Amino acid sequence: MSVKCEAFGRCGGCAYLNMDYKDQLKRKCHYVQGLFGGIKAEPVIGMSDPMHYRHKVYSSFGMDQKKHLVSGLYEESTHKLVQVKNCLIQNETANRIIRLVTDIASGMHIEAFDERTGRGVLRHLYIRVSHSTGKVLLVIIISSRDLPGSKTFIHRIIEENPEVESIVLNWNNYYTSLVLGRREKVLYGNGFIEDELLGLKFQISSRSFFQVNPVQTETLYKTALQLAEIDSSKNVLDACCGIGTISLSAAGLAKSVTGVEIVPEAIQDAKHNAEINHISNIKFICADAEQFLKENSDYFHIAVLDPPRAGFSEEFLRLLAKKKPERIVYISCEPATQARDTKQLRKNGYLISKIQPVDMFPFTKHVETVVLMSRVEGK
């Protein structure tokens, strides 16, 4: 199955859009296997329906040649806007809201921010759609001091989009590729939506990290937990725990779980998520993962790793190996740095037992990978 898109070849988001889906999965498996020096990788777990899977969506604003407000995506590695009215991998509710918000703003003569002149208002929209409820968190990012006609603007959005549960205004007047600025204000609702994952509830705010593909996230986490072989006698470390999605999923199986995350806001969300799910055999610590290992003397039977794309430092991996967990389950959205890090762990007493790719990002070059590493006795 290959599909056609009006922006294919220009926005750069879906490099494999003209390729049959089964061939995409084979190519990704071959890519992963090559990174790991030929160690066998399992076939990539794909989706039965790979369309419109992104429940976390960004859209940018610009003015066309006729000075009309338009929205779309930037060309890869540029700030050149490509108008996209119906992205084939973005959630359909999100697509519709982007179109309607653009029309409302255009009718109210609200202009897009112009990076060259520093004038204008609208920069981006950030939309999060709950997979379990269909409710929407909408973040409007502006560069100006205020949003003209904000009460009318918000009223019309809510009136025409009943799925919108909360609207946040975010200020970003920096010349940066970052979408969200540091300051924001809740204009409608409570500033978050709720979603469910593996039977647990999670509150998602504008700054919460929550996977973009909810269907495959369940597959990814089920795979990781199965490989970890957690039972009620095991203490689990979750490094780079974010808002606690994996930690809380593991807590129902484990004796105890410790989640470590350097971002304070994420730790606050994680603690709150533990409360609303009534989970008590878990603690969340705001700290750098490397520093935590240096200062903490607890023993963990199982370590779950889910770092940013950059992976881990050699010192973190050395300290982790020194702790001698029985199993390490390493989840990564960047298999290249994962392969580098697992090579370091292999030098420190661990063997790769399984490599399981999961297709979190159909039609793109990206793939998520779960690697199980087991400790070799005597090393």
Domain annotation for the chain: domains and CATH numbers: 21-49+213-375 (3.40.50.150), 56-197 (2.40.50.1070)
Report whether pLDDT(219) > 90: yes
Asked if residues 303 and 328 have their Cβ atoms less than 8 Å apart, the reply is yes
Q: Which of 5, 87, 241, 333 is catalytic?
A: 333
333 is catalytic: yes
Residue 71 has pLDDT above 70, yes or no: yes
CA atoms within 13 A on the CB side of 13: 21
* d(C-alpha 269, C-alpha 17), whole Å: 36
At residue 36, the pLDDT reads: 94
Residue 83 confidence class, pLDDT cut points 50, 70, 90: confident
* pLDDT tier at 82, thresholds 50, 70, 90: confident
**pTM score:** 0.91
- Radius of gyration for the alpha carbons in the chain, expressed in angstroms and rounded: 22
| Residue 42 backbone dihedrals phi, psi, to 5 degrees | -70, 155
* Amino acid identity, position 59: S
SS3 321: helix
Reported as a pLDDT band with limits 50, 70 and 90, residue 201 is: very high
In contact, 124 and 141? CB cutoff 8 Å = yes
Q: What share of the chain is helix, strand, coil (3-state, %, to 5)?
A: 30, 30, 45
